[in-house]
Chain A
Amino acid sequence: MKKIIFLLAFSFLVSCTSKEEEIYTPISYNLKVPSLFADKLIAPIIPSNNLLTEEGVALGKKLFFDTLLSGDETQSCASCHNPENAFTDNQQFSDGVTGDFGNRNSMPLFNLAWNFDERFTWDGKNFSLELQAFEPVTNPVEMNANWDEVVQRLQNHKEYPILFQQAFGTLKIDSVLVSKALAQFERTLISGNSKFDKFLKGEATLTPEEQNGFDVFMDEARGDCFHCHGSNNNPLWTDNKFHNNGLDATFTDIGLGAVTGDPADNGKFKSPSLRNLIFTAPYMHDGRFTTLEEVITHYSEGLQQSATVDPLMKKVKQGGVNLTAKDKADLKAFLVTLSDFNFIEKSRFLE
């Protein structure tokens, strides 16, 4: 009799548990889109097979800061994508868990849901944010882990299985779900509250230097930055496209060309956003410039001719458009207004 009662109680418990698993519905995440983005841009890209949920974003955040994802459990995503640096680091190249260095500068992470072509990283090799999140875990010069081991660690963890169950409806963890959670979190990293954003909303004024710097940025005869780096009407401050911006006459890293196999793409790299530059030095895909002055001088008089240099790089033969010292200084002053201190401050408390 006792045996029967036990079996009945057990089956009741089992049925309750599986029912809970079946009926748990994650809460839809309300992405806070800055008003300028909502006014000016098409909708952010949220894949239908990875909609944002409160539980998914929270799980992605926990994973982002967790060293369990690296081979020797010493590094997390945040090791190279530090919130205080707009989710990049301040090194030219980042050292992975083995102490080896990559050959690309760590990219900052924000406004990634507005990358409409969904080609991520400097050379566009990852088509989707989920794939971008998937790759560094096993990259030997980054986290150098084995997905099976990482999944096993998470599966054996006291909290993760239930967090995955709440986010994705299953206790069984796999690399796809880890990547999905990370991508969900990354899509919530939104920077849209710089001084210039406030200026556009009528909440701040620019100094004469900053205003002239913006004019240099928008003037086809001077900076002509707007063709690749957005404008007051494109608050991403990037076109998310790939260009050869005249850094080299010959290439040691062919960038997009290695991904497409097309020699016409050699030396092309993604235009990075110009938001948050004061937090993201050094600059360029290989972090060759340590200051904004060096960057501006490159475009002004340092352009190198090559077969694939973008036609938008004017006067290559003269090294560039040769800005005056004042225009250079003012351009820098304007660029600094794109820094979003509020984003850094909020990000600092994420971990």
Chain B
Amino acid sequence: MKKYIAVFCVVLSLLISCTDEVENTTVTLNFTHNWDGVPVTNKDFNKFKFTNANGEEISINRLRYVISNVSLINTTNHFLIDLGENTGMSIPVSNIETGTFDLKFTFGFKDSENKDGIYQDLNSANFNVPGMLGGGYHFMQFDGKYIDTDNEEANFNYHAIRAVNRENPDELVFQDTSFEVNLGKVNINNNQIEIQMNIAEWFKNPNLWNLNELNTVLMPNFEAQKLMSANGKSVFSLRE
């Protein structure tokens, strides 16, 4: 009997020690924004203080976007980040293992998760895409003003959604314009990770954006959505 008890104690202590080896921690993902390296907060909104790569002076009035499938979180997830209202800018991820992991997320929603009306938080935030464009959700609402070729203020609505070709309204053709942002390996150990969005990149790389040509009513513009998606792939980076 004593022998069994001894064996049981050894097994139990092994189990306990195994459990102890897995250390869980918390990490916070902080989203910051800049214009080619110059920090941008909502205090910089509503002022013509930026110039895009095409030479147009710009004022930002609204900037909010969705990311989903953050790799450090095991469950399906999405987050609305609103620079104008300064909400959603920090994403705490708790109860994860310490160590080095890949940090990835999806900008917007991939097609399989971009279902119409299913996210109550985004419906409540009025972030939907009309059914005539296939439904689902905006990936980004970036609204502002620019100085046009007549030297007057004009509006732009740089709204990113899943690209849809409506040439035949009865037979919509979609292209998934969400994209994966892979920020590489990060060390997780009760720390803060800063993810930067360079807003200027939306206008320059690889497609030089001319706001005098592409300014409003871009949601139903199939080609414009593909250009936005291509430009978006270089906007995020890790702050080293």
Interface residues of A (CB under 8 A from B): 40-42, 114, 116, 215, 218-221, 224, 226-228, 230-234, 239, 264, 305, 307-317
The reply to whether B155 and A219 form a contact with Cβ atoms under 8 Å apart is no
The listed residue (A232, A309, A310) touching B131 by CB distance below 8 A is A232
A309 / chain B contacts, CB cutoff of 8 Å:
155
B124 close to A (CB within 8 Å): yes
Bound-complex Cα distance A221 to B141 (A): 16
B153 / chain A contacts, CB cutoff of 8 Å:
305, 307
**Chain B interface: which size bin?**
20 to 34
- B216-240 contact mask (Cβ, 8 Å, vs A): 1 or 0: 1101100000000000000000000
Give 14 pairs: A residue, B residue, CB < 8 Å, sorted on A: A40-B123, A42-B121, A114-B124, A215-B132, A220-B157, A220-B219, A226-B128, A232-B117, A308-B46, A311-B145, A313-B155, A314-B155, A314-B217, A316-B155
The listed residue (A218, A230, A239, A317) touching B154 by CB distance below 8 A is A317
- B127-154 contact mask (Cβ, 8 Å, vs A): 1 or 0: 0101110000000010111000000111
User: In chain B, what residue has the closest Cβ to A316?
Assistant: B155
Q: Which of B144, B217, B219 has the most CB of A within 10 A?
A: B217
| 9 closest Cβ pairs, A-B complex | A264-B46, A311-B155, A218-B130, A311-B143, A233-B117, A239-B126, A233-B128, A233-B123, A42-B124
A114 / chain B contacts, CB cutoff of 8 Å:
124
A313 / chain B contacts, CB cutoff of 8 Å:
155
Q: Is the interface of A mostly helix, strand, loop or mixed?
A: loop
The reply to whether B61 and A41 form a contact with Cβ atoms under 8 Å apart is no
The listed residue (A41, A233, A305, A312) touching B157 by CB distance below 8 A is A312
Known: A311-B156, A312-B143. Contact between A220 and B130, CB under 8 A? yes
A218 / chain B contacts, CB cutoff of 8 Å:
130-132
Not counting A231-B128, A264-B45, A311-B143, a sample of 20 additional A-B residue pairs whose C-beta atoms are within 8 angstroms of each other reads A40-B120, A41-B120, A42-B121, A42-B124, A215-B132, A219-B130, A224-B217, A231-B130, A232-B117, A234-B123, A264-B46, A305-B153, A308-B46, A309-B155, A310-B143, A311-B155, A311-B157, A312-B143, A312-B157, A314-B155
B116 close to A (CB within 8 Å): yes
User: In chain B, what residue has the closest Cβ to A264?
Assistant: B46
A308 / chain B contacts, CB cutoff of 8 Å:
46
A215 / chain B contacts, CB cutoff of 8 Å:
132
**Smallest Cβ distance from A196 to chain B, in angstroms?**
14
B132 / chain A contacts, CB cutoff of 8 Å:
215, 218-219
User: In chain A, what residue has the closest Cβ to B216?
Assistant: A314
**Smallest Cβ distance from B8 to chain A, in angstroms?**
49
